[in-house]
Amino acid sequence: MRGCFITFEGGEGSGKSTQIAQLAAHLRSQGRSVTITREPGGSPGAEAIRHIILSGTAEELGPEWEAVLFAAARADHVALLIKPALERGDIVLCDRFHDSTRVYQFLDPAQDRRLLERLEKAALSGLYPDLTIIIDVPVETGSERAAKRRGDRSADRFEKDDMAVQEGRRQAFLKIAADEPERCVVVNGDRPLQEVAQKIAAIVDDRLEARRFEAIGQSFSVGNGR
Ligand code: TYD
């Protein structure tokens, strides 16, 4: 059975990386094989592009060209890391994926949707996540957490965007979840860490169980020649 592709999305300081580590420990304790990765990055080519984007070097090109860079990084990441891990049967936990491009680079509805769709199609080559966990936190809380985590380091290309932009992104993530309820689950990240972790573990356990039953059902109908 092909592995399971789970992406984590949310605004700055939503706690994605902490929750990914918690979930990985939970899944490994069940004997499952887990690959953790992140975007932009995850493969050598994509990590190089990450540096260009987050340093702000490409900012002047505008969001569409930044989206082209994210798409190039994603195509490399999918081909070299995500697909092989899924073929091995791993559960892949990815910190941000295509929804981040929709939300960060294409927040303005007046932008060219066809470009977004084409980039998405090219970068993913059919590999949409099986499940996307959107960790939702109020923008103020997220910004405070991100500032604490940063310490003395200056804010990167996207962390420095103002509260109104960040609130727009939060709403855009919630809209994706409303539009694609089969793929996306929203989790309230403004709760104690362990409570959020338990909630996410329960969602993922349910989803993996459902997939197991589906796979058993499929092999049963194949076995019956149907
Ligand atoms: P990172 O330091 O990994 O931040 P975070 O912990 O918030 O994920 O930086 C990734 C930044 O890149 C983040 O601000 C969101 C942004 N981003 C996009 O703008 N578009 C994308 O497609 C992706 C994957 C990330």
CATH number of residue 151's parent domain = 3.40.50.300
Residue with tokens 């509260």: 163
Distance 161 CA to ligand 1 centre (A): 12
In which domain, by residue range, is 201 found? 4-223
Mean pLDDT of 152-181: 94
> pLDDT tens, 116-155?
999 999 999 999 999 999 999 999 999 999 999 999 998 8
* 104 touches ligand 1 (CB under 6 Å): yes
Q: What is the pLDDT of residue 226?
A: 53
Phi and psi torsions of 161, nearest 5°: -65, 150
User: Contact 10/129 with Cβ under 8 angstroms?
Assistant: no
Atom of ligand 1 nearest to the CA of 97: 24
User: Contact 201/185 with Cβ under 8 angstroms?
Assistant: no
Question: Considering its fold, how many domains does the chain have in total?
Answer: 1
Using a pLDDT cut of 70, give the percent of the chain over it.
97
* 12 touches ligand 1 (CB under 6 Å): yes
* 173 touches ligand 1 (CB under 6 Å): no
Distance 100 CA to ligand 1 centre (A): 7
* 40 touches ligand 1 (CB under 6 Å): yes
Q: What is the pLDDT of residue 222?
A: 66
User: Contact 69/52 with Cβ under 8 angstroms?
Assistant: yes
* 70 touches ligand 1 (CB under 6 Å): yes
Task: Tell me the C-alpha distance between 97 and 116, whole Å.
Answer: 14
Mean pLDDT of 197-216: 94
Distance 215 CA to ligand 1 centre (A): 34
> pLDDT tens, 65-78?
999 999 999 999 99
Mean pLDDT of 74-83: 98
Model confidence, pTM: 0.95
**Long-range Cβ contact pairs of 171-174 (< 8 A, separation 24 or more):** 172/102, 172/103, 172/107, 173/9, 173/10, 173/11, 173/99, 173/103, 173/134, 173/136, 174/134, 174/136
Q: What is the pLDDT of residue 207?
A: 97
